[in-house]
Amino acid sequence: MGRGSLKASVEGIKKAKKALSYHGLTQKALGEELGISRATISNFFNHRNVDRWVFNEICHKLNLNWQEIFEKPEVNYSNDWVVSLNNAGENPFQTAGTLPCNAPSYIQRECDRKIEKYIKNENLISIIGDYEIGKSSLLMQVCQMQPNDSQTWKNCFIDFTDMRTDNSRLFINKFFARLGFDEMESWDVLATDFNQQPMLLCIDEFGALEPEIAKFFIPKIFKLTTSAKANIRIVVCLREKIDDFFRRIQIHHPKYIRNWKCIVVESFKKEEALQLFGLLPEPVAEITFQHYQSIVNFSSLQPRLLQSLCYSLFEAAKQGQTQIELIDIIQNPDSYQ
């Protein structure tokens, strides 16, 4: 999935054409060297948007500073003013990492609504999506849920990147410890325990499982979902589709694959992005509304990139920066990193 697009300015295109000639290249030859289609190269040289990575690759190849080449939208600076925030409080936005379950800047999406529905009756749920799209943050929200009101569920969050997924003994020992057992119990004891105390098990980075451990571990958790069916929910995060994951780790029996419900985490829709901007102080939020299309072009509404932008805008506003300076932050691609 792309992270926004950029367009070369008229002056930038002149510089790029001059650099192309200097290096003895044609547009066709440039595309072949970079592995980029001729149509995309043509878009760059004809004042059209191209993916940001394409823009950077072209500029790098031509020894150009991309920040001097891309076109900044025209901004009316005639009525500049200073944003003054008194008692603004703590910045609610986060530039990296998983959002905690109580994060004020967590915005619910369609994936939240789907998982609230699935968690009531489905034993196996996979959350998939691109890198930094918000899978782990969604999983943190799930870990606070109660699948039904008739019982009190024990919730457990495990991140497989913190475990030895290449050593079966160490992995299983730590897995049972994370579930609250001092020593490794039998899987039958685990099922009995879940029948007495229902368990919502949330596993992050499920795709980190090595094949040898997965071939042992997957059948065991599948058996748990049959022996303690009404009293266990297993929700996992990974980047690939669950069937692609099982194919990669060489588990082919259909019974382990067919019962998973899949939820895809996608970029924000417009109304969700506007809801995030609405957490900014009112005058700053108004600027983001006015420059919404520029933000889309730089971020493709990818949640982590928008969090970074909003964090920078909030901090700048606290420091008393002007409208011009805030708009410059929006127009600076580095604000989204």
Flag whether the pTM goes above 0.85: no
Residue 274 near residue 303 (C-beta atoms within 8 A): no
> What is d(CA 1, CA 266) in angstroms, rounded to the nearest whole number?
10
In the chain, the amino acid numbered 131 is: Y
For the stretch 234-256, pLDDT in tens is 999 999 999 999 999 999 899 98
Cα-Cα end-to-end distance for the chain: 16
**CA 243 to mean position of chain CA atoms:** 21
Higher pLDDT, residue 195 or 30: 30
pLDDT band at 190 (very low <50, low <70, confident <90, very high): confident
Q: Do both 225 and 81 map to the same domain?
A: no
Q: Do both 79 and 48 map to the same domain?
A: no
For the stretch 246-292, pLDDT in tens is 999 999 899 988 889 999 999 999 999 999 998 998 889 889 998 99
Residue 336 near residue 313 (C-beta atoms within 8 A): no
Q: Do both 121 and 258 map to the same domain?
A: yes
Higher pLDDT, residue 81 or 327: 327
Longest dimension (CA), the chain: 75
When mean pLDDT is compared across 14-18, 54-58, 136-140, the lowest value belongs to 54-58
**DSSP 8-state assignment for residue 267:** P
What residues make up the domain containing 114?
110-264
The pLDDT score that the predictor gives to residue 244 is 94
Q: Do both 31 and 56 map to the same domain?
A: yes
29: CB partners within 8 A, 6+ apart: none
Q: Do both 260 and 272 map to the same domain?
A: no
Boundary-marking domain end, from 238, 264, 290: 264
Q: Do both 252 and 298 map to the same domain?
A: no
Q: Do both 36 and 56 map to the same domain?
A: yes
Residue 261 near residue 254 (C-beta atoms within 8 A): no
Q: Do both 142 and 226 map to the same domain?
A: yes
For the stretch 326-336, pLDDT in tens is 999 999 999 99
Rg (CA), the chain: 25
CATH of the domain at 255: 3.40.50.300
When mean pLDDT is compared across 143-147, 192-196, 203-207, the lowest value belongs to 192-196
Q: Do both 304 and 180 map to the same domain?
A: no
Boundary-marking domain end, from 233, 264, 295: 264
The pLDDT score that the predictor gives to residue 51 is 83
Q: Do both 120 and 183 map to the same domain?
A: yes
Does the pLDDT value for residue 312 go beyond 60?
Answer: yes
Does the pLDDT value for residue 180 go beyond 90?
Answer: no
CATH of the domain at 40: 1.10.260.40
- What is the DSSP secondary-structure string of 66-117? HHHHBPPPP---TT--B---SS--S----SSSPPPTT-TT----HHHHHHHH
Does the pLDDT value for residue 68 go beyond 90?
Answer: no
The pLDDT score that the predictor gives to residue 164 is 84
The structural domain count of the chain equals 3
Q: Do both 305 and 201 map to the same domain?
A: no
Q: Do both 168 and 287 map to the same domain?
A: no
Average pLDDT, the chain: 88
> What is d(CA 147, CA 198) in angstroms, rounded to the nearest whole number?
10
Could you tell me the two tokens for 334?
A: 């580095």
